[in-house]
Structure 1
């Protein structure tokens, strides 16, 4: 027995897309002649399609003003709706065409924290693009690697989580090394920062844990000073205070702008220290031997050439041997 499909009322009630396309062109150019030129058809064809659409909708969509045309109130409502729909259709078609095209471009999706992307990755990427101009890199930044948007499956994670999710293999990178940093001008204005006790007299730019979902030990100023026995046994010093933020990029920028002293994660601030934009007022540092950063890549793409290119480039940037990777 043959089953008959019920008519799709939504599609049946849809006007002709050809007529809608003519309407959109006329509305954009406010002129039938220019609309016809943009679609490579005749002016008569545009006029006919618009008349058919007005008949279908039962209302006028344009009014003539001199030699040009303007949308009526109903025309404006319809134009706002169809323009957005056409834009979505065009973007979807463009994505599909790029994915199915025979060009030589290759793509890779990388996920890391905003601080890592801004302070570590950004100034190193030019060397990768210079060596591999045929690779398009898609970057996704997040502080919560466990709850990415549905459908987002990066090829590579850079994270402190040894097991970021199923289907990924992790390569251990470096330990965190943490030490105080500030600008040369701030240190010059506060020479007492050259001692552990003197650090407490500066404006302490502190990284808070709020919204930072990482399976790793969190280090703040209180912990760092306590580990180095820089406890303040007396009354608080006048003017001493702490500024807390969960945006590490902001804290580094404040340190660069002479606004205080921050804890610097070596892999992020080392280039700024090397250039003299930040200085280390004391030599003490903290190394977290129990935790590491990891490069986690998709196991089902282990033999993918593009992923291998980026993986080996990245490990070389970290001065990590790639023979076993």
Structure 2
């Protein structure tokens, strides 16, 4: 294996594309960086950089090494930071949830949590694949629909999902026809597609939603509205906020936007998915840990 010092010098040089700047970042001399890079190239028997004046750029071999080395150094840094934090007075808890839940539900509530718990740090990991977690990731608490995720976790139901159309007040004023189901059906619909979302929620797209409302979804081709589809729920919500159409809103994710008046419900109809329950899963071994219990009780209280 090459020396750790040589790999660190190489990553810095590759990042800044300049040996002098790399030396400044690592608080060493430019000659030291050059020597480490030269030794590494001799060890590998290949050139890693193409020198062009003061700037350097990676060769194909250098690019391959940089991709692996940068990731490895990042993983080492993250691991040492976790260990360092665990050795101080603060506790770091790990919460795992979906990307949409972290962005649209958790983010704007974190200030309240930290104000009430100044001695706790929170590490949030998001995933769309709860059944295929990366090795080494051991969350204390999950927020997920996958209740049989793994043995040894206590399951607490939080809420069932409720889905209804949403748009901005401005869009509703410009398109008053969306106040009716027929007008809504023929409007610009922002749709959620199922790609990669099988472990996140019931697949409710506009066709499913209209079917549950007993509305014929067959629209004449001459009246076919503009259509947009993505599996990124945050993107759909942002497009709705930008007056670009009507999206389906999951109540627990966009309820605060309704309260703020940024979004409105053009129709009263909604879909109550009684069987689509989101759970809080907590490691049974940590259920009585005071720090974990505080996070658990805070999360439960948000849905009380």
What TM-score do the two structures reach when normalised by structure 2? Answer: 0.76
Work out whether residues 181 and 279 of structure 1, in 8 Å CA contact, stay in contact via their aligned partners in 2: yes
Work out whether residues 111 and 157 of structure 1, in 8 Å CA contact, stay in contact via their aligned partners in 2: yes
Supply the distance in 2 between the matched residues of 1:126 and 1:155 (Cα, whole angstroms).
20
Supply the distance in 1 between the matched residues of 2:110 and 2:79 (Cα, whole angstroms).
25
User: Is 1:140 the equivalent of 2:134?
Assistant: no
Q: Pick from 258, 261, 268: which aligns with 2:246?
A: 261
CA RMSD of superposed structures (Å): 4.1
Match of 1:108 in 2: 93
Match of 1:176 in 2: 161
Uncovered stretches (5+) of structure 2, i.e. residues with no partner: 13-17, 44-53
Question: What SS does the aligned partner of 2:132 have?
Answer: coil
Uncovered stretches (5+) of structure 1, i.e. residues with no partner: 1-9, 40-45, 58-69, 320-325
Q: Pick from 261, 266, 270: which aligns with 1:281?
A: 266
User: Is 1:154 the equivalent of 2:135?
Assistant: no
Q: Pick from 203, 216, 220: which aligns with 2:188?
A: 203
Question: Residues 100 and 126 from structure 1, CA distance in 2 versus in 1: closer, same or farther, beyond 3 angstroms?
Answer: closer
Q: What's the offset of the Cα at 1:109?
A: 0.9
Question: Residues 234 and 158 from structure 1, CA distance in 2 versus in 1: closer, same or farther, beyond 3 angstroms?
Answer: closer
Any runs of at least 4 consecutive aligned residues in structure 1 with deviations exceeding 2 A, and if so which? 27-30, 84-98, 232-239
Higher helix share: 2
1:293-317 per-position Cα deviation (integer Å, ceiling 9, x unaligned)? 0001111211222211110111111
What TM-score do the two structures reach when normalised by structure 1? Answer: 0.71
1:97-136 per-position Cα deviation (integer Å, ceiling 9, x unaligned)? 7625742121111111111111111001111111112212
Question: What SS does the aligned partner of 1:166 have?
Answer: coil
User: Is 1:99 the equivalent of 2:83?
Assistant: yes
Q: What's the offset of the Cα at 1:194?
A: 0.5
CA radius of gyration, larger in: 1
Question: What SS does the aligned partner of 2:243 have?
Answer: coil
Work out whether residues 158 and 277 of structure 2, in 8 Å CA contact, stay in contact via their aligned partners in 1: yes
Q: How many residues align?
A: 280
